[in-house]
Structure 1
Amino acid sequence: MAVRIERVVTSGTFSLDGGTWDVDNNVWIVGDNESAAVIDPAHDAARVAQAVNGRTVTAVLLSHGHDDHIRHARDFADRVGAPVYLHPADQMLWEAVYPESRPDSDISDGQRFEIAGTELVALHTPGHSPGSVSFHAPALGTVFTGDTLFQGGPGATGRSFSDFPTIINSIRERLLTLPAETVVNTGHGDSTSIGAEAPHLQEWIDRGH
Structure 2
Amino acid sequence: MIDRIVTSGTFSLDGGTWDVDNNVWVVGSDSEVVVIDAAHDAEAIARGIGDRAVRAIVCTHGHNDHINAAADLAARVDAPILLHPADQVLWEMVYGDTPYTPLEDGQVLSVGGADLTVLHTPGHAPGAVCLHVPGLGAVFTGDTLFKGGPGATGRSFSSFETIIDSIRGRLLTLPEDTVVHTGHGDSTTIGAEAPHLQEWLARGH
Using the size of structure 1 for normalisation, the TM-score is 0.97
Structure 2 unaligned segments of length 5 or more: list them.
Answer: none
Which of 5, 19, 38 does residue 22 from structure 1 map onto? 19
Q: What is the distance in 2 between the residues matched to 1:71 and 1:7?
A: 17
Q: Is 1:189 the equivalent of 2:185?
A: yes
Question: SS state of the match for residue 82, structure 2?
Answer: strand
Q: What is the distance in 2 between the residues matched to 1:59 and 1:71?
A: 15
Paired residues of 2:39 and 2:70 also in contact (CA < 8 A): yes
Kindly provide the CA deviation profile for residues 142-183 of structure 1, in whole angstroms up to 9, marking residues without a partner as x.
000000000000000000000000000000000000000000
Paired residues of 1:94 and 1:102 also in contact (CA < 8 A): no
Paired residues of 2:29 and 2:113 also in contact (CA < 8 A): no
Which of 5, 9, 13 does residue 8 from structure 1 map onto? 5
Count of residue pairs the alignment pairs up: 205
- Structure 2 match to 1:36: 33
Question: SS state of the match for residue 116, structure 2?
Answer: strand
- Structure 1 match to 2:46: 49
Matched letter for residue 65 of structure 2: D
Q: What is the distance in 2 between the residues matched to 1:8 and 1:98?
A: 23
| Sequence identity (%) | 65
- Structure 2 match to 1:203: 199
Q: What is the distance in 2 between the residues matched to 1:98 and 1:42?
A: 14
Which of 70, 85, 88 does residue 88 from structure 1 map onto? 85
- Structure 2 match to 1:180: 176
Kindly provide the CA deviation profile for residues 94-130 of structure 1, in whole angstroms up to 9, marking residues without a partner as x.
0000112221x10000000001111000000000000
Paired residues of 1:57 and 1:82 also in contact (CA < 8 A): yes
Q: Is 1:65 the equivalent of 2:69?
A: no
How big is the alpha-carbon RMSD for the aligned residues of Structure 1 and Structure 2? 0.6
Q: Is 1:157 the equivalent of 2:127?
A: no
Paired residues of 2:54 and 2:78 also in contact (CA < 8 A): yes
Paired residues of 1:95 and 1:102 also in contact (CA < 8 A): no
Matched letter for residue 108 of structure 1: E
Which of 111, 117, 132 does residue 113 from structure 2 map onto? 117
Matched letter for residue 4 of structure 2: R
Q: What is the distance in 2 between the residues matched to 1:12 and 1:205?
A: 31
Q: What is the distance in 2 between the residues matched to 1:183 and 1:118?
A: 15
- Structure 1 match to 2:99: 102
Instruction: Please identify runs of 4+ aligned residues in structure 1 that moved more than 2 A.
Output: none
Paired residues of 1:154 and 1:168 also in contact (CA < 8 A): yes
Matched letter for residue 131 of structure 1: G
Structure 1 unaligned segments of length 5 or more: list them.
Answer: none
